[in-house]
Structure 1
Amino acid sequence: MPRTDISFKTSDGVTLRGWFFTPSESAMSEGAKLPCVILTHGLSCIKEMGLDDVASKFVTELPLTCLVYDHRGFGTSDTAAHAPRQEINTWLQANDMRDAITYAQTREEVDRSKIALWGYSLAAAEAVYVAAIDRRVKAVIALGPGMDGAEICRRLAPPHVLNGPMQAMFEMDRMARAAGNPPITVPVVNTEPGGQSVLPSPESVQFFSPWMSNASTWKNELTLRSLDDISTFSLPMGHLKTLCPTPVFFGVATRDTNSPPDMVMAQYHQISEPKEFVMVDADHYQLMGSARELLHLRETAFLKSVLCS
């Protein structure tokens, strides 16, 4: 299973870096053009957090290629000259996804008419949005999609916090930036009891803790403006009914507190056919862990029927 380092430019000139996966040489006929699945990770995550395993299994078992990359400002990817690292801008991430499609279409191994998106968590929601507005996407797999940031925040924090201290902090950060000061940052997770963080759940700490080392390019840090962005994120919500006729697959976790299953399924029911879902007994992060065996089987069958036929 060959894997090569790649890079490509976004429409605003930012270099994104990642990997391109192809089947073994023995599995590829000369001059063959194969479908491509573009894989993107969730909030603050880097490609090393399991995307290589997912892509490797896909190209081993299916006649397709995979493109994996880090979001701008994270991992090995660059950010714009005027923008800080560790900052999530959901609109730009979605637009970068469209640039990734263009890059994949330029590769000689790829059948440009057969591009699919695979996303986890926040990137799953962005993939749904991109699939709805960009007809180059022929299928989308969304695992634990957090498609309504305001609703998720309402479930995680009481109104007096959302409408009081949080808004005051967002205002303070904007004023500080306007004055030329560095952006305010917050930890993704906090290993100290009672500490403030973007993702305070025990399962979040468990998932990210192994990556808190100097050997990893993952950083336990986000700009406060990232939280401002994702707390109002709703790009996919106005486009759920326009996904049709693009086939959609949802992976839903029964114990997910980041993307609660009742919320995800209510959104799923707004999508027209063709669509399918699988619900697994897992928390949000086990969608990238212990639930992968079942999810892989269902995802492979989905891709085989809608992309590789």
Structure 2
Amino acid sequence: MAEEPISFISDGLKIAGSFALPASRSDGLLPAVVILHGFGSHMDAANVKLPAKIFNDLGYATLRFDMRGCGHSEGTPGRLICLEQVEDTRHAIDYLLTRKEIDPARIAVMGSSFGAAVAVYTTAVDPRVAAVISASGWGHGSRKFRGQHHEPGAYEKFVEMLAEAKRHKAETGTSMMIPRYEIVPIPNRLRGHVLERSIQMFDADTAQSMFDFEPENVVHRISPRPSLFLHSASDSVTPVEQSVAMWTKAGAPADLHLFAETDHFMFSEANERPRNVLADWLKSYFPAR
């Protein structure tokens, strides 16, 4: 696998990325997969790099990148707006279409967590995407937050925080900043997956954007292109019902796999089953050759 640092422009911002060709390749144009990182993370996260290696080993080109405001990309740090991330992903596809090695009819998108929500929405609205893979994803922001803030009174406190942020912006003209784990709680045992250079403080507009984002309402537009939904059966971060609901609303062909002995960061954990399921699904629905 030969990685190439690249960049592309999205809404006037320079987006940093990494493009890789498979180590061994046959003649002809290659299929490619765009891999999206999670909430406030970056393209060097393990649940981005490890899937990228799987794809490269199987004969796919890959493109991973830092969303605007994340990692080494331009943009306001901590301001992550869902539809803007969709635009970054669509511009990543624009970039792939400039590469002479890539088959323009065989570009897929994969995301984890927040990146999975963006991947599903992007695929629904962009017919250039041939297939989508969602890992530990979500499709309905307000219902997701209710499941994540599940302690008595926690969801009501979260909603009041969003209302307070709106009042603050109306009065001051500036956005209130919110710590990462007040938006998306993560158990202490999993916080080691939140890597250095991940964002820790977020513009309140980020939380409101996520609250309002509902990819499950457009997921039906993906069919007849294939979709794969992967989720831990006991996800400590994103409720499993989020992937179940998206799969229920997706048209055929759509596959759903729930895994025991994994948690939210399934591709950077020890269990091999998600990787094996991914490889088998690719052979049937998005083969490298």
Paired residue for 1:218? 198
Structure 2 spans left out of the alignment, 5+ residues: none
Paired residue for 1:109? 101
What per-residue deviation string (whole Å, max 9, x for no partner) do you get for residues 250-294 of structure 1?
Answer: 101111143211342133111111111211125643313225621
Confirm or deny: 8 A CA contact 1:8 1:16 kept in the other structure: yes
Q: How does 1:1-309 map to 2 (within 5 A)?
A: 1-10=1-10, 12-24=11-23, 27-29=24-26, 32-50=28-46, 51-60=48-57, 62-79=58-75, 84-157=76-149, 158=153, 160-176=156-172, 178=173, 181=174, 183-189=175-181, 197-203=182-188, 206-208=191-193, 211=195, 216-234=196-214, 236-282=215-261, 284-290=263-269, 293-307=272-286, 308-309=288-289
Q: CA RMSD in A?
A: 2.0
CA distance in structure 2 between the partners assigned to 1:285 and 1:36 by the alignment = 25
TM-score for the superposition, normalised by structure 2: 0.90
Q: Structure 1 residues 231 and 294, CA, compared in 2 at 3 Å: closer, same or farther?
A: same
CA distance in structure 1 between the partners assigned to 2:49 and 2:207 by the alignment = 27
Confirm or deny: 8 A CA contact 1:280 1:291 kept in the other structure: no
CA positional deviation for 1:28: 2.8
Confirm or deny: 8 A CA contact 2:31 2:103 kept in the other structure: yes
Q: Structure 1 residues 294 and 14, CA, compared in 2 at 3 Å: closer, same or farther?
A: same
What is the DSSP-based 3-state SS (H/G/I as helix, E as strand, rest coil) of the residue aligned with 1:112? strand
Confirm or deny: 8 A CA contact 1:152 1:258 kept in the other structure: no
What per-residue deviation string (whole Å, max 9, x for no partner) do you get for residues 75-133 of structure 1?
Answer: 01111xxxx32211001101111111111111111111100000111111111111112
Confirm or deny: 8 A CA contact 1:282 1:291 kept in the other structure: no
Structure 1 spans left out of the alignment, 5+ residues: 190-196
Equivalent AA in structure 2 for residue 305 of structure 1: S
CA distance in structure 2 between the partners assigned to 1:282 and 1:229 by the alignment = 32
CA distance in structure 1 between the partners assigned to 2:111 and 2:203 by the alignment = 22
Confirm or deny: 8 A CA contact 1:149 1:232 kept in the other structure: yes
Bigger radius of gyration, 1 or 2?
Answer: 1
What is the DSSP-based 3-state SS (H/G/I as helix, E as strand, rest coil) of the residue aligned with 2:265? helix
Confirm or deny: 8 A CA contact 2:193 2:265 kept in the other structure: no
- The count of aligned residue pairs is 283
CA positional deviation for 1:204: 7.1
